[in-house]
Amino acid sequence: LRTRAESFTLTYWDVAPTNQRAKTKTDEQWLDDQVKVITSDPDIKGVTRTEPIEVSGFPGREFEYRYENGGTY
């Protein structure tokens, strides 16, 4: 990846079990909300891709966004 100037970041949170969270939130809804929080910075110019993934049996989200400097993150 070095020659393509790419990097990847993995972030995780310890999350309360579904039965201890608001009963109206599924794991998928909670993850979608977290993407919105992460990308709420006014310098972010839009989410270009988001898709559900599974990591070691746990649900996740992979997403890309455009920043004001023109970079894709």
Report whether pLDDT(1) > 80.
no
- Structure pTM? 0.68
Percent of the chain with pLDDT strictly greater than 70 = 85
- Tell me the backbone φ, ψ of residue 30, rounded to 5 degrees: -60, -45
Which of the four pLDDT bands, split at 50, 70 and 90, describes residue 53? very high
Res 24: pLDDT? 66
Report whether pLDDT(28) > 60.
yes
pLDDT in tens, 32-50: 888 898 889 898 888 889 9
Residues, the chain: 73
